[in-house]
Amino acid sequence: MKFLITGSSGFVGKNLLSFLSNNYGQCSFDEYIRGSDINSFLDNDVVVHLAGKAHDIVDSVNSADYYRDNTELTKTVFDAFLKSDIKVFITLSSVKAVADKVEGVLTEEFNPNPSTHYGKSKLLAEQYILSKELPRGKRFYILRPCMIHGPGNKGNLNLLYQVASIGCPWPLGVYSNQRSYCSVNNLMFVIKELIDNENIPSGIYNVSDDEPLSTNEVISIIGKQLNKRIRIWNVPKKIIVFLAKLCDVFNFALTTERLHKITDSYIVSNKKIQGYMSNPFPVTAREGLFDTFETF
């Protein structure tokens, strides 16, 4: 089997190359780099489009870059797919294409209303794909993962791990949130199912681990991986919010936005994609996070 991969040098891309090599034996890869002639990469069986501009929590990215890398590049790759003999197109969107905050449980039926340029650029790419007539014999899949983690992961999980590993008490115990996570192993499992199972209809699918976890539970998992007891303090929220605002001013670690990302609830349903899976996900949310922390 021959694969065209965009964004192969990124976190998900590196994991995907390793996964496909281990699961498809005599497979080959074309790794598309932006600026190359896409038409020279069209003798493949599957295209997995991962390239794009990730959400920047410190707001240092020009907004136009999101639309160039997330919207226009996706249009280019998808148009090439439509004209080619490639049978399967898989692209990573994001739950942030729907909402930055969620009341209840996020499903694919939610009416998208993103508030950031990142989310809007992802949604525009989705809408473009959905607007095109799909030739017979072709399939497309738009995946909306929540926070992906695994070997090579960067982001807020690293911040949690750093705080816990130096023995600092965790001061946010007063927050009783629930968040969905997505192990990169489970994401790879979904991608393989989409490639192999022609009966899964084209469309949009959320991807998340089966069970959401509170941030306090994640801290406990870190403690288990470190084999140390982590103290969890219930510092009043007013004090935490005040300190976060100070961090905004001095650009310290726990900014207001990071505080929200760590403590807000964001539960994502994976029931739609689970309905087409031939087997359960390979790892639970707890197992996936434990494995991720072992790589830090």
Q: What is the CATH number of the domain that holds 153?
A: 3.40.50.720
Give me the number of domains the chain comprises. Answer: 1
C-alpha span between 146 and 95 (Å, rounded)? 6
List pLDDT tens digits, range 35-54: 788 888 888 999 999 999 88
In a domain, 224, yes or no: no
Higher per-residue confidence, 182 vs 59: 182
List all residues 6 or more positions away from 165 whose beta carbon is below 8 Å from its beta carbon. 222, 226, 296
List pLDDT tens digits, range 79-104: 999 999 999 999 999 999 999 999 89
In a domain, 73, yes or no: yes
Determine which of 12-21, 50-59, 91-100, 123-132 has the lowest per-residue pLDDT on average. Answer: 50-59
In a domain, 205, yes or no: yes
In a domain, 75, yes or no: yes
In a domain, 155, yes or no: yes
In a domain, 232, yes or no: no
Pick the closest to residue 195 from 7, 23, 32, 30 (CA basis).
23
Helices 184-196 & 285-294, crossing angle to 10 degrees? 120
pTM beyond cutoff 0.85? yes
Expressed in angstroms, the distance from the first to the final Cα of the chain is 33
In a domain, 109, yes or no: yes
Torsional sign, CA 235, 236, 241, 246: negative
In this predicted structure, the answer to whether residue 60 has a pLDDT above a threshold of 60 is no
Neighbouring CB atoms inside 10 A of 277's CB total 14
Which residues constitute the domain of residue 55? 2-215+261-294
In a domain, 231, yes or no: no
Determine which of 86-95, 154-163, 212-221, 260-269 has the lowest per-residue pLDDT on average. Answer: 154-163
> What percent of the chain lies above the pLDDT cut of 90?
74
